[in-house]
Structure 1
Amino acid sequence: MLTPEQIASYERDGYLLLPELFTPAEMAVVRRAASDIYAMNRPEVWRGKDGEFRLAFGVQHYHPVFDLFLRHPRLVEPTRELLGGDVYCHQYKLINKQPFGKLDFPWHQDFANWSKFDGMPEPRALNISVFLDEVNEFNGPVIFIPGAHKEGLITADVLPMEGIDQDGAHTIQGRELERIARANGMVAPKGKAGTAVLFHPYMPHASSPNQSPWSRSTIYLTSNRVDNHITRPTRPEYVAHTDFTPLRAVADDALLTYVEEAAAA
């Protein structure tokens, strides 16, 4: 359960940091599953022209650990609280910024893409980012502008993002960013593996390439209210899901139980 202070913080700032939401033992299970994904050759796994792993969509459909993680109560319950009702998985992806890699994300708002490409009616959704590795100032943390979600949709151009989005993405240009950043400042949430960040679909965010020798892997879950489901999907189902079944939480110890049962089998 989120505290009233945490809910107020999310509504005020547009994001909420939950340090070490998952234990080191739980994250070790998820990291091993991520290593399996990195080696796969599937349509859902996208790489840059040089072969660098960029991201993998819909990982719950082809790895049991990510299926359990998607439905973990520490992810499902906070989203239901903040969104005020049953939620389903709109998008679920694994992103890996390899050491000294090239992957970056320009300034954008996710709802601009969800609205245009998927037909999401309202911004009654949110992202949860869970750190699979420690995130520090050197390995490409995500940058937010606190409170900028209150701006609503910001004028943006649709630009190609090689190895990230086949349809391009709404990319916010400098003049608007300067105005908003000067008024609100910027933050880059950091923390140990297992830390989670929840953020609003109107939140402008960006990240630079990983300039360090340390990997920065992250799992992103986009939860959407069931009654706000998408209406005009134009992208593959593994990018924008059309199964609007409400997420039901598994047991809190599901990840560690999975390892124990696998070892006994």
Structure 2
Amino acid sequence: MTIMDTGVEDVYPTRVTGAAEPFDRVDPTVWGADGDGPVDAATLASHDAKGYHVVEGLLSPAEVQAYWQELVRLSGDEQLKADERVITEKKSGEVRSIFEVHKLSALIGELVRDPRILDRARQILGSEVYVHQSRVNYMPGFRGSGFYWHSDFETWHAEDGMPRPRAVSCSIALTDNYPFNGGLMVMPGSQRTFVQCVGATPDDNYKSSLKEQEIGVPSEHDVTKLAAECGIDQFTGSAGSALWFDSNIMHGSGNNITPYPRSNIFLVFNSVENALVEPYAASKPRPEFIGSRDFTPVSR
């Protein structure tokens, strides 16, 4: 543990010089209890052990169609393409992600407040929550590029100033996820290990890292060790299913060379008791559309 210049204790130091040393997480994965929300005791226990759980059929087929049409509308908005919140593929220039989408789309803004989602986030984190980040992800057929292994919390801690891994992500599939079209891979139980990364954070690192991350990625040695200890699961399922996963779980995705596109809505909830401070390993915070500093609790 180290003490930042601000006097705030850094329990998860990263972006180090020299060798990285993974260490045990000191915080729980599940902060709430059975009876605090819609998640039953068995599912909570599974989420605590694995760092993730899947909800089949979270959205109905009609809802999936409505949100899919919204994604098509957003990706086809020529004015929006000039917005910094729109991230394009490094090689093809196609839309890869649109950030802060719950503010750009009234439909997705309502989804954030949906009890099926909000109440589950509150229960897992054991508190009121706010939206740390939202986005829609597009992985087109044939040309969709994946993302190397990483822990979201490592980046959110280093570059956004998130003190502890008291955040949870919800990835809602709007297309069928097959084993072969670039579906998300997770290492079950890896959320219990914090993997330090090596190297100083460049200024405005987000401008390149959102297309291809180079700083804030674990070493091949550490990935190999975690995989040997935890194994690798892959999120597959029909459109409308949702993957809930801990902010510190090691995850990544491969390229999509199949004809089948893969798209999802990605919502990150952080506990209001875990509000951001100054970045732990960057000169300044990333923009608000990537790491919100509005800690107002989400209400229905």
TM-score for the superposition, normalised by structure 2: 0.79
Q: Would the alpha carbon gap of residues 105 and 167 (structure 1) be closer, same or farther in structure 2, given more than 3 Å must change?
A: closer
Give the CA deviation at 1:3: 0.5
| Residue among 55, 61, 66 paired with 1:24 | 61
Question: Map of 1:127-146 to 2, 5 A cutoff?
Answer: 127-146=169-188
Q: Distance in 2 between matches of 1:189 and 1:141?
A: 6
Give the CA deviation at 1:153: 3.3
Q: Distance in 2 between matches of 1:79 and 1:144?
A: 19
State the partner residue of 2:96.
54
**Would you say 1:106 and 2:143 are equivalent positions?**
no
State the partner residue of 2:86.
45
Amino acid at match of 2:97: L
| Higher-helix-fraction structure | 1
- More displaced 10-residue stretch of structure 1: 148-157 or 107-116: 148-157
Give the CA deviation at 1:16: 0.6
Give the CA deviation at 1:156: 4.9
| Residue among 228, 239, 242 paired with 2:290 | 239
* Paired residues of 2:147 and 2:213 also in contact (CA < 8 A): no
Q: Secondary structure at the match of 1:111?
A: helix
CA deviations 1:15-34 (Å, max 9, x no partner) are 11111111111111111111
Aligned residue pair count: 249
Give the CA deviation at 1:102: 3.7
Q: Distance in 1 between matches of 2:49 and 2:271?
A: 20
- More displaced 10-residue stretch of structure 1: 110-119 or 40-49: 40-49
Amino acid at match of 1:25: A
State the partner residue of 2:45.
8
Q: Distance in 2 between matches of 1:189 and 1:178?
A: 20
Q: Distance in 2 between matches of 1:221 and 1:236?
A: 17
Q: Secondary structure at the match of 1:198?
A: strand
| Residue among 236, 254, 258 paired with 1:190 | 236
State the partner residue of 2:16.
none
Q: Distance in 1 between matches of 2:124 and 2:155?
A: 21
Runs of 5+ consecutive residues of structure 2 not aligned to the other structure = 1-37, 279-283
* Paired residues of 1:54 and 1:164 also in contact (CA < 8 A): no
Runs of 5+ consecutive residues of structure 1 not aligned to the other structure = 250-265
**Would you say 1:164 and 2:216 are equivalent positions?**
no
CA deviations 1:80-137 (Å, max 9, x no partner) are 0010010000000111100011421000000111111111111111111110111011
- More displaced 10-residue stretch of structure 1: 185-194 or 37-46: 37-46
Q: Distance in 2 between matches of 1:211 and 1:171?
A: 24
Q: Distance in 2 between matches of 1:228 and 1:4?
A: 24
Q: Would the alpha carbon gap of residues 19 and 75 (structure 1) be closer, same or farther in structure 2, given more than 3 Å must change?
A: same
Give the CA deviation at 1:240: 1.0
- More displaced 10-residue stretch of structure 1: 179-188 or 168-177: 168-177
Q: Distance in 1 between matches of 2:212 and 2:276?
A: 19
Q: Distance in 2 between matches of 1:150 and 1:15?
A: 12
Q: Secondary structure at the match of 1:170?
A: coil
Q: Secondary structure at the match of 2:96?
A: strand
TM-score for the superposition, normalised by structure 1: 0.88
Question: Map of 1:217-236 to 2, 5 A cutoff?
Answer: 217-232=263-278, 234-236=285-287
- More displaced 10-residue stretch of structure 1: 156-165 or 238-247: 156-165
* Paired residues of 2:147 and 2:212 also in contact (CA < 8 A): no
Give the CA deviation at 1:213: 0.8
